[in-house]
Amino acid sequence: MSSPAPPPQSAARVRRPPPVLAVVAVVALLALPVAGDGGGGAHPADAVSALVVLYGVLRLVRGRRRPLSRTAAVVLGLPVLGLAVAAMGAVSPGAGVTGLGRYLQVFVLVPAAVLLLVRDRGDARLLARSMVGLALWQGAVGVHQYVTGTGASYQGAQVRAVGTFGPQDVMGMATVVSLGLVCAVGLALGHAPARQRALAAGCALALLVPLALSFSRGAWIATAVTCAAQLLLAGVRRALAVGAAAFAAGVVLVGGFGLGTTMLQERVGSITQVADAPDQSVTDRYTMWEASVGMWRERPLTGVGLKGFPEHRDGHASLALSSGSETDGAGAGYLRQPLLSPHNMYLLVLAEQGLLGLLALAGSWLALLVLGLRGLRAVRRTGRAGADCGLVACGLLVWQLTDFAYADIGGPSTVLTAVCFGLAAWWALGSGAEAEAEAAGVCAGADAGRGAEPGAGHGTEACRGTGTGARTQAGSEEVPAR
């Protein structure tokens, strides 16, 4: 009697967990609470992000594949130039090394690892859904804090929703919830089955509540700008329909469920009063912006060096700057935090890295945005599936670039910024390039069927065949390459 035949190799390959689960683990770890003292040490998500980078390198070495395409290497490697110069000009070698490592983690290494580990649109959707799940969890914690009065202190009441990030990182939950909402809107505007789109739209509406209770004006503005951009990119007709539904839902949430509290109304109204009657937080921010510009004028090309803003702040700030911000509540005691950054990423880079660093970083971000939008346009023009991935990736990038006008990197949620740039890089330098090539009648995804990594050599030389057969061989939306 003959022994049973072994299972085919393709079946064994399907059972392997997708590499993107390593990135999902980083997102999931952000659900853990931050230490009550403010989380001065490294968050577990930061440590795992380093392992994700190492995992991506090991996969490349084992598979003997080219790491990145030439375009991807240039776009992602561009910030290194300004960072290296700014690190040499730091106030101390330790500050230079620490700052260099943080910037490389957020804008170079983790995005490159995400680009390599996200293999197809199924992986991208899984990563986007994990971000929605994290936002729902943090949002639920934040709503509970508001309802029970156990949140961070705001106008004398402990009602500010901060999730598990604590009062020392009041922007943490607002960032997570905003990015999850952007992902949900992008998934809802795609061409998935109606049930999935309805579920994504419901998640987006639910996330409006904790976003409002975060009392974060910068997050509100960035989210509104991004969602409006996503609606317009999805089509004017759909934008009008979804916009009307969102307005009706907002009326119900604010009026019907009592979100129109006096504090919330005052916070919303203060957005238009920042120039006429700014509160102390806005005054501090304007003062630190002026200090950043003063540092840049002192060293316009290279800046004052990485981690140099706190050292040079007092020499350029006016007397209007307060001694620090007060934090309390959400399980932590009273603490006065020093103001160590200008809360504007562009001005922070300009002050510490000069024009050289700002042009390098902003040039990399602008290239990702242009390539991503071009890929999204190509997908919509050809009518292919996957527009939801483009809307998510471009939306995350637009949110980050808008929010950088009101915030900078720092805190545990910064690792999520790195993941967002990685997903944007995957779309701009991987899937977007494929879509544009297919729009020209060329299948640029044939390497996927042979196990090539995203971003490793897309182009017209990848495949000379077109049509359904070529897409199936390359690993199409219906038959993803595993």
pLDDT of residue 316: 80
**pLDDT (mean) for 170-187:** 94
d(CA 340, CA 332): 21
Task: Quote the pLDDT of residue 169.
Answer: 84
On whether the CB atoms of residues 124 and 23 are closer than 8 A, the answer is no
Average of per-residue pLDDT across 12-40: 78
Check if the beta carbon of residue 46 is closer than 8 Å to that of residue 178.
no
Long-range contacts of 256-263 (CB under 8 A, 24+ apart): 257/209, 259/209, 259/212, 259/213, 263/154, 263/155, 263/157, 263/159, 263/215
Q: How confident is the model at residue 25 (pLDDT cuts 50, 70, 90)?
A: very high
Furthest C-alpha separation in the chain:
92
pLDDT at 6 over 60: no
Q: Which stretch, 2-6, 197-201, 313-317, has highest mean pLDDT? A: 197-201
Tens digits of per-residue pLDDT, 344-389?
Answer: 999 999 999 999 999 999 999 999 999 999 999 888 887 667 889 9
Classified as helix, coil or strand, 19 is coil
Q: Alpha-carbon distance 139 to 154, whole Å?
A: 18
Answer whether residue 65 shows pLDDT above 90.
no
Averaged pLDDT, 442-451? 40
**167-178 pLDDT, tens digit each:** 888 889 999 999
At 382 the pLDDT is 76
The 3-state DSSP class for residue 328 equals strand
Give domain limits for the chain.
Answer: 19-27+43-273+342-474, 280-337
pLDDT at site 269: 62
Compute the CA torsion angle 464, 467, 473, 474 (nearest 10 deg): 70
Q: Measure CA 171 to chain center.
A: 13
| Residue 457 scores a pLDDT above 60 | no
Pairwise pLDDT comparison (296 vs 156), residue with the higher score: 296
* pLDDT at position 151: 85
C-alpha distance across the termini of the chain, in Å: 34
Most confident region among 164-168, 226-230, 250-254, 376-380 by mean pLDDT? 226-230
75-91: pLDDT as tens digits: 999 999 899 999 998 88
Average pLDDT, the chain: 79
Is residue 207 within 8 A of residue 180, CB to CB? The reply is yes
- Check if the beta carbon of residue 271 is closer than 8 Å to that of residue 217: yes
**Residue 418's pLDDT band (cuts 50, 70, 90):** very high
Look at phi and psi of residue 64 and say left if phi exceeds 0, alpha if psi is from -120 to 50, else beta. Answer: left
pLDDT of residue 315: 81
pLDDT band at residue 479 using 50, 70 and 90 as cut-offs? very low
Between 116 and 461, the more confident residue is 116
Residue 357: which of 348, 369, 370 has the closest Cα?
A: 348
The answer to whether 353 and 85 are in contact (CB under 8 A) is: yes
pLDDT of residue 450: 38
Interatomic CA distance for residues 182 and 423, integer angstroms: 13
Q: Label residue 334 by pLDDT band (50, 70, 90).
A: low
Residue pair 173/142 in contact (Cβ under 8 Å)? The answer is: yes
